[in-house]
Structure 1
Amino acid sequence: MFKNTFQSGFLSILYSLGSKPLQIWDKEVVDGHVKRCHDDEIQSNVLEVVGANIQSTYITCPADLSATLGIKLPFLVLVVKNMKKYFSFEIQILDDKNVRRRFRASNFQSVTRVKPYICTMPLKMDDGWNQIQLNLADLTRRAYGTNYAETLRVQIHANCRLRRIYFADRLYSEEELPPEFKLYLPVQQKA
Structure 2
Amino acid sequence: MAAPSPGSTTAASVQPGPGPAGPDDHFPIVALLPPNADTRFGEMRPVARAIEESEFYAEEGMAEAAAGRRKNTSEDVVEASIVTDGEIAAEALELMGRDGKVRLGFKCECSLPFLVLQLKDIGRFCAVELTVESRAGAEYTIELSSRASVARIGREKASLPLMIRPGWNYCCVDVEDVVHMAFGAHLAFTTGVTVKSSCRVARIFFQDKRYEDRELPAFLRVVK
TM-score normalised by length of structure 2: 0.72
Residue in structure 2 matched with residue 60 of structure 1 by the alignment: 105
TM-aligned CA distance change 1:102 to 1:181, over 3 Å: same
Residue in structure 1 matched with residue 180 of structure 2 by the alignment: 141
CA contact (8 A) 2:213 2:222 kept: no
* Separation in 2, partners of 1:112, 1:14: 28
More strand by share: 1
CA-to-aligned-CA distance 1:143-185 (integer Å, 9 cap, x gap)? 1111000011111100111111001111101232222211232
Q: What are structure 1's unaligned runs of at least 5 residues?
A: 63-68, 186-191
CA contact (8 A) 2:95 2:103 kept: yes
Where 1:108 maps in the other structure, the secondary structure is coil
Residue in structure 2 matched with residue 188 of structure 1 by the alignment: none
- Residue number among 18, 37, 44 corresponding to 1:23 in the alignment: 44
* Separation in 1, partners of 2:26, 2:103: 27
Deviation at 1:20, TM superposition (A): 4.0
CA RMSD of aligned residues (A): 2.3
My pick for the range that moved more, 137-146 or 24-33, is 24-33
CA-to-aligned-CA distance 1:64-108 (integer Å, 9 cap, x gap)? xxxxx1111111000111112010110000011211101101111
Give the length in aligned residue pairs: 177
* Separation in 1, partners of 2:180, 2:136: 12
Q: Does 1:11 align with 2:30?
A: yes
CA-to-aligned-CA distance 1:87-145 (integer Å, 9 cap, x gap)? 01100000112111011011111100110111000111122111111111111111111
Where 1:184 maps in the other structure, the secondary structure is coil
* Separation in 2, partners of 1:21, 1:9: 26
TM-score normalised by length of structure 1: 0.84
Q: Does 1:123 align with 2:169?
A: no
Deviation at 1:38, TM superposition (A): 1.9
Q: Kindly report structure 1 stretches of 4+ aligned residues shifted beyond 3 Å.
A: none
TM-aligned CA distance change 1:70 to 1:183, over 3 Å: same
Q: What are structure 2's unaligned runs of at least 5 residues?
A: 1-8, 14-24, 59-77
* Separation in 2, partners of 1:53, 1:123: 15
Where 1:53 maps in the other structure, the secondary structure is helix
Residue in structure 2 matched with residue 82 of structure 1 by the alignment: 121
Where 2:179 maps in the other structure, the secondary structure is helix
Larger relative CO (CA 8 A, sep 6+): 1 or 2? Answer: 1
Residue in structure 1 matched with residue 83 of structure 2 by the alignment: 37
Q: Percent identity?
A: 23
Residue in structure 2 matched with residue 157 of structure 1 by the alignment: 196
Larger radius of gyration: 2
TM-aligned CA distance change 1:124 to 1:136, over 3 Å: same
Please tell me the residue identity of whatever aligns with 1:180.
F
